Chain A
Amino acid sequence: MPLSDDGAALRLKDDDDVAVALRDLSAGSTVVFGGESPVVVAGAILTGHKFAVRPIAGGALIRKYGQVIGRAVGPIVIGEHVHVHNVEGTRGRGDLPLNALGLTGP
């Protein structure tokens, strides 16, 4: 479970698209995971919230814990806050027809 060099953020699985802030991060602060390129946090990230550690295309599935946690509603840049404003759930979506999510029925 990679912890950032200064212990300020945690990426739960190596191939996750997001990391979790373990303390409040101010805009412009830099997070480094091992020998990887530094991630510059685009805006303030509150503790417990997520930011992108790689660019995410609009409509792409987003992974945390190595598992799908939702879908990007538009492109998300590296370092950007990843939350309800730019991610939709793909489950429990009774507001949408099943095929709108590209999922098959039960």
Chain B
Amino acid sequence: MSGRTFMGYRRANGTVGVRNHVVVLPSVMCANHVVDLIGRKVPDVITIGHPTGCSQVGADFEQTKRTMAGFAANPNVAAVLIVGLGCETNESKALAEEIAARGQRVEVIGIQEQGGTNATIARGIEIAQELLREAAAHERTECPVDALIVGTECGGSDGFSGITANPALGYCSDRVVAEGGTVILAEVPELVGAEHLLAERASAPVAAKLYEMIERVEARARAMHVDMRYGNPTQGNIAGGLTTIEEKSLGAAYKGGSTALREVVEYAERPREHGLVVMDTPGQDIEQLTGMIAGGAQVVVFTTGRGTPTGSPIAPVIKVATNTTMFERMRENMDVNAGTIVDGSRTLEQVGDEIFDWIIEAANGREPAAEALGFRDFAINRIGPSF
């Protein structure tokens, strides 16, 4: 064990950030325009837009609120300004209270209370500038790898994903876990057919919860009377050589490595355990990315065969290409080439070590391609209809 460290931001609630963002987040889509205009006047803040926050009920509303609160309280965020309308389901002050309860610095304003669009923008600019001044006082200090939650993801998978990039990421995941860190394996529909391999490395209650999540996926397919194929695996996965969901899953599960499965958490729920954790997210890339980051992931490693450029507004997303052809064709979007494993120029372990080093460097502040290109992808997984 190397006892690697990184230079991170220690937060008052005990978590450690690898970025120091000030986020302006609408509690409801009706505030998107005001948030956008605050961001144009104060370009150093991160603004988020989304189509959620109103006319939602039950578990769907709870999940939306949990995702916003978790995302706003991610340790990569120094402070957050919530902008509400005033009549939304997702009451902005209640959301701000939930964020504050997680130990995050938060301010909140409402468009109806402020007296309209321009008054809210003016007040929002003042608050955003103050939060940026406060954040500038935070400094990086040396932190151990056990403070890291690393999200893993594969998107645009192909026939090489399960041979090169995912096993190399799995080797890296084992290193993160060996140093006391946490690794999230998600996209549960892409564990269908591989769940037994994870369950045999889990305690009975954890295995039972994993099987329950897998059954939810197949129950949805039965309720719709559909074959998952062509929805997942997608047309692009199939063009890349993947034939069934089982085959895709067996390759995808490699990302988590070989350690014991310690916990299974809901979408956007923060893990309590260290080590390998499964989170219930869909395979849809942006919803998965948002869920893992709302669950506290500070860094994400994303493997791709077809070439997926996506990135988060608040967390570095490291791209690992499964094949050299795509790595060279989409060089500006990629960070690591795992295709070198089949080219014979590097071993799986060497690529895994490069991914591990990238995680540490990204935690220190180095920008992977998706971050340097300015991606701000954000989407909350809905589990019920709007009313």
B323: Cβ under 8 A from any A Cβ: yes
Complexed CA–CA distance, A8 and B227 (Å): 33
B149: Cβ under 8 A from any A Cβ: no
A residues 71-106 in Cβ contact with B at 8 Å: 82-84, 87-96, 106
* Number of residue pairs A-B, CB distance < 8 angstroms: 107
Chain B residues within 8 Å of A32, by CB: none
CB-defined interface of B181-213 with A at 8 Å, one 1/0 digit per residue?
000000001001110010000000000000100
CB-defined interface of B213-241 with A at 8 Å, one 1/0 digit per residue?
00101111111111111001000001011
Q: B159 touching A106 by the CB < 8 A rule?
A: no
Chain B residues within 8 Å of A64, by CB: 247, 250
Partner among B189, B223, B246 whose Cβ is within 8 Å of the Cβ of A67? B246
Q: A91 touching B246 by the CB < 8 A rule?
A: yes
Q: A67 touching B217 by the CB < 8 A rule?
A: no
Most buried by B among A10, A70, A87, A96: A70
CB distance from A34 to the nearest CB of B (A): 18
Complexed CA–CA distance, A90 and B163 (Å): 22
Given contacts A83-B243, A89-B245, A93-B227, contact A22 B342 (CB under 8 A): yes
B160: Cβ under 8 A from any A Cβ: yes
Q: B244 touching A89 by the CB < 8 A rule?
A: yes
Given contacts A7-B344, A50-B243, contact A92 B221 (CB under 8 A): yes
The number of residues on chain A lying at the interface, defined by a beta carbon within 8 Å of a beta carbon of chain B, is: 31
Q: A48 touching B323 by the CB < 8 A rule?
A: yes
Chain B residues within 8 Å of A89, by CB: 227-229, 243-246
Q: B245 touching A94 by the CB < 8 A rule?
A: no
Q: B217 touching A48 by the CB < 8 A rule?
A: no
Q: A84 touching B241 by the CB < 8 A rule?
A: no
B335: Cβ under 8 A from any A Cβ: no
B residues 116-167 in Cβ contact with A at 8 Å: 158-160, 162-163
Chain B residues within 8 Å of A25, by CB: none
B70: Cβ under 8 A from any A Cβ: no
Q: B246 touching A68 by the CB < 8 A rule?
A: yes
Q: A106 touching B244 by the CB < 8 A rule?
A: no
Partner among B211, B218, B219, B223 whose Cβ is within 8 Å of the Cβ of A91? B218
CB distance from B287 to the nearest CB of A (A): 18
Partner among B160, B222, B241, B250 whose Cβ is within 8 Å of the Cβ of A50? B241
Q: A87 touching B243 by the CB < 8 A rule?
A: yes
Q: B215 touching A106 by the CB < 8 A rule?
A: yes
Interface size class of B (residues with CB under 8 A): 35 or more
Complexed CA–CA distance, A93 and B217 (Å): 10
A65: Cβ under 8 A from any B Cβ: yes
Complexed CA–CA distance, A93 and B185 (Å): 23
Q: A84 touching B243 by the CB < 8 A rule?
A: yes
B305: Cβ under 8 A from any A Cβ: yes
A40: Cβ under 8 A from any B Cβ: no
Chain B residues within 8 Å of A67, by CB: 193-194, 197, 246, 250
Given contacts A46-B241, A94-B223, contact A70 B247 (CB under 8 A): yes
Q: A94 touching B247 by the CB < 8 A rule?
A: no
Chain A residues within 8 Å of B217, by CB: 92
By beta carbon, the residue of chain B nearest A93 is: B227
Given contacts A65-B162, A67-B250, contact A92 B218 (CB under 8 A): yes
Chain A residues within 8 Å of B238, by CB: 83-84
* A–B Cβ pairs within 8 angstroms, 24 of them: A10-B163, A20-B163, A20-B241, A48-B323, A67-B193, A67-B194, A69-B250, A70-B244, A82-B243, A83-B241, A83-B243, A89-B227, A89-B229, A89-B243, A91-B228, A91-B246, A92-B192, A92-B217, A92-B221, A94-B222, A94-B224, A95-B221, A95-B227, A106-B211
Name 5 extra pairs, CB < 8 A, besides A22-B342, A92-B189, A94-B227: A48-B240, A67-B194, A82-B243, A83-B238, A94-B226
